[in-house]
């Protein structure tokens, strides 16, 4: 009776594996059979003469050993052969040369065999888990997943999904202004599934442009349904992004649908991206038109394009240049990323030798912005506004160092020489 009880407990161990490791019944049966065969092969040198039947409904298993019947005293391998006298205790009608099958209790092989079985079973299930994890997340590449922040390290965050799997969000894939507390849920896109030495590692990203694309699919039904397609995305994570969209139906306003009434749809995406500014613009297969739209809010007067070098020269009115470049150069950088063209912007010539005037913001590549702001605070918006005021008065009113004011005057004067 004790052995029967032990046998049931062994089956309960399998049930624990099934419940805790989320392994389906068919796979568990296969793993159990393989584990028994592996242990038996180690004990006897071969497992070919053993049959193992797993019965998950009753919570037990049966093991049968098949041996050839030989004359008494002629057994050379007790694993493969059995004496006639012993065989007839199992089947009283068997004869020499026939095969006799005996049901055996695995526990009779001893405690070491049972321990070996448990270790083998655990090892095989762990391998199966790793394989399943790798294939599961390989199918989710490019898709958004939600997981709980479990641990914050210097170089990456450790997240746990709803099945207890570990996911990693590297620092380089986090939006600079991301801030989450332990236990909070984090959304990110799966960008890579590594499998070094059969140890899967799932890498997530919140900075990849695919994350922004998937957010549009979640927030904009027309994008999800394929009525609106996202043709190109350019991002400077946490700062600004440009998205070119197109509609398969001329009756659908692609930009309006993505933004939503009063910005309702785009606001949800902006919040998820930590207030990243998102410009949505209509796509065009015409490079000139696409570049002009990408440089908005600046208005382009004309564009020269070199298709071979993928380079474009955009000409604008002087007061539009700073808008085309944008704060920190973000606007022109994103436009280049979106269109695939390197873009240079130039002030449009009016056909005369004299330049009427230039807005101060257009000098932010030579003069620091805080200095420009100091001049704007005293009412100087253009270069001529500054040059028309005496040097000493500029120093007094702006409260800037003499060397700083002299540098500004030198840069501004050079534009009118």
| Domain finish residue from 205, 239, 255 | 205
Q: Is 160 helix (H, G, I), strand (E, B) or coil?
A: strand
| Domain finish residue from 135, 167, 197 | 135
Whether pLDDT at 2 is above 70: no
Q: pLDDT grade, residue 417 (50/70/90)?
A: low
User: In this predicted model, what pLDDT tens digit does every residue of 196-239 receive, in sequence order?
Assistant: 888 999 999 999 999 999 999 999 999 999 999 999 999 999 99
Q: Specify the pLDDT at position 22.
A: 59
What CATH number is given to the structural domain containing 164?
2.40.50.140
Tokens 């012993």 -> residue: 86
DSSP 8-state code for residue 253: -
What is the distance between the alpha carbons of residues 274 and 238, in angstroms, rounded to a whole number?
A: 6
What is the distance between the alpha carbons of residues 208 and 190, in angstroms, rounded to a whole number?
A: 10
What is the distance between the alpha carbons of residues 292 and 290, in angstroms, rounded to a whole number?
A: 5
Q: pLDDT grade, residue 23 (50/70/90)?
A: low
198 phi and psi angles, rounded to 5 deg: 60, 25
Note whether residue 218 is domain-resident. Answer: no
Note whether residue 64 is domain-resident. Answer: yes
| Domain finish residue from 135, 159, 181 | 135
Q: Do 186 and 259 have their domain in common?
A: no
Query: Which DSSP helix (H) or strand (E) runs through 27?
Result: helix 25-44
Q: Specify the pLDDT at position 27.
A: 74
Note whether residue 212 is domain-resident. Answer: no
User: In this predicted model, what pLDDT tens digit does every residue of 267-279 receive, in sequence order?
Assistant: 999 999 999 999 9
- Say how many domains are in the chain: 4
Number of CB atoms found within 10 A of residue 168's CB: 18
Structure tokens at 174: 């986090």
Q: Do 55 and 112 have their domain in common?
A: yes
What CATH number is given to the structural domain containing 254?
3.30.300.20
Q: Do 277 and 190 have their domain in common?
A: no
Q: Specify the pLDDT at position 301.
A: 84
What is the distance between the alpha carbons of residues 398 and 163, in angstroms, rounded to a whole number?
A: 62
Whether pLDDT at 319 is above 60: yes
Q: Do 340 and 366 have their domain in common?
A: no
Note whether residue 215 is domain-resident. Answer: no
Q: Do 71 and 102 have their domain in common?
A: yes
Q: What is the mean pLDDT of residues 117-133?
A: 81
Q: Specify the pLDDT at position 6.
A: 42
User: In this predicted model, what pLDDT tens digit does every residue of 326-361 receive, in sequence order?
Assistant: 988 999 999 999 999 999 999 876 443 444 567 787
Note whether residue 157 is domain-resident. Answer: yes
Q: Do 293 and 334 have their domain in common?
A: yes
Name the residue with higher pLDDT: 11 or 73.
73
Q: Do 13 and 130 have their domain in common?
A: yes
**Quick check: 121 and 32 in contact, CB under 8 A?**
yes
Q: Do 6 and 127 have their domain in common?
A: yes
What CATH number is given to the structural domain containing 109?
3.30.1480.10
Note whether residue 409 is domain-resident. Answer: yes
Looking only at the bridges linking them, the beta strands covering 342-347 and 311-316 are parallel
**Quick check: 262 and 250 in contact, CB under 8 A?**
no
Structure tokens at 53: 């039947």
Q: Specify the pLDDT at position 349.
A: 64
Computed over every residue of the chain, the mean pLDDT equals 86
Q: Do 163 and 243 have their domain in common?
A: no
Note whether residue 216 is domain-resident. Answer: no
For residue 255, the enclosing domain spans: 227-347
Q: In terms of C-beta density within 10 A (0-12 exposed, 13-18 middle, 19 or more buried), how is residue 20 classed?
A: exposed
Q: What is the mean pLDDT of residues 255-278?
A: 93
User: In this predicted model, what pLDDT tens digit does every residue of 274-308 receive, in sequence order?
Assistant: 999 999 999 999 898 899 999 999 988 888 999 99
Query: Which DSSP helix (H) or strand (E) runs through 373?
Result: helix 369-376
Tokens 């500004």 -> residue: 408
Q: Do 114 and 43 have their domain in common?
A: yes
Q: Specify the pLDDT at position 119.
A: 81
Q: Do 197 and 233 have their domain in common?
A: no
309 phi and psi angles, rounded to 5 deg: -95, -5
Number of CB atoms found within 10 A of residue 362's CB: 24
User: In this predicted model, what pLDDT tens digit does every residue of 218-228 receive, in sequence order?
Assistant: 999 999 999 99
Q: pLDDT grade, residue 12 (50/70/90)?
A: low
Q: Specify the pLDDT at position 34.
A: 82
Note whether residue 77 is domain-resident. Answer: yes
Name the residue with higher pLDDT: 397 or 5.
397
Q: What is the mean pLDDT of residues 3-23?
A: 52
Q: Do 184 and 284 have their domain in common?
A: no
């Amino acid at each position: 009776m004790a052995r029967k009880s032990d046998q049931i407990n062994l089956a309960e161990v399998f049930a624990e594996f099934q419940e805790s490791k989320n392994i389906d019944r068919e796979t568990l049966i296969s793993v159990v059979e393989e584990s028994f065969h592996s242990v038996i092969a180690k004990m006897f040198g071969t497992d070919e003469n053993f049959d193992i039947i797993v019965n998950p409904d009753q919570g037990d298993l049966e093991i049968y050993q098949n041996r050839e019947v030989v004359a008494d005293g002629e057994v050379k391998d007790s694993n493969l052969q059995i004496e006639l006298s012993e065989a007839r205790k199992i089947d009283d009608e068997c004869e020499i040369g026939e095969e006799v099958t005996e049901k055996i209790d695995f526990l009779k092989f001893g405690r070491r065999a049972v321990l070996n079985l448990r270790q083998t079973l655990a090892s095989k299930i762990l391998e199966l888990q790793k394989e399943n994890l790798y294939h599961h997340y390989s199918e989710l590449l490019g898709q958004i997943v939600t997981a709980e922040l479990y641990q914050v390290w210097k170089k990456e965050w450790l997240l746990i999904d709803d099945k207890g799997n570990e996911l990693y969000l590297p620092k380089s894939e986090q939006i600079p202004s991301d801030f989450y507390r332990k236990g909070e849920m984090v959304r990110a896109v799966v960008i890579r599934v590594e499998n070094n030495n059969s140890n899967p590692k799932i890498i997530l990203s919140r900075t990849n442009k695919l994350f922004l694309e998937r957010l549009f699919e979640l927030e904009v039904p027309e994008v999800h349904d394929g009525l609106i397609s996202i043709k190109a995305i350019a991002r400077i994570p946490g700062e600004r992004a440009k998205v070119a969209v197109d509609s398969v139906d001329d009756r659908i306003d692609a930009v309006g649908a993505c933004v939503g009434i009063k910005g309702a749809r785009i606001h949800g995406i902006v919040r998820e991206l930590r207030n990243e500014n998102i410009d949505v613009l209509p796509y065009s297969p015409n490079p000139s038109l696409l570049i002009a739209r990408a440089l908005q809010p600046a208005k382009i007067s004309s564009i020269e394009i070199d298709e071979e070098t993928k380079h474009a020269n955009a000409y604008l009115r002087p007061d539009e240049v700073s808008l085309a470049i944008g704060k920190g150069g973000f606007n022109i950088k994103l436009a280049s990323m979106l269109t695939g063209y390197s873009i240079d912007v130039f002030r449009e010539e009016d056909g005369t030798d004299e330049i009427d005037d230039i807005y101060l913001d257009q000098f932010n590549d030579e003069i620091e912005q805080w200095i420009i702001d100091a001049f704007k605070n005293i009412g100087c918006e253009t270069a001529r506004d500054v040059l028309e005021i005496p040097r000493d008065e500029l120093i007094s009113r702006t409260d800037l160092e003499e060397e700083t004011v002299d540098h500004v005057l030198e840069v501004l004067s050079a534009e009118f020489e």
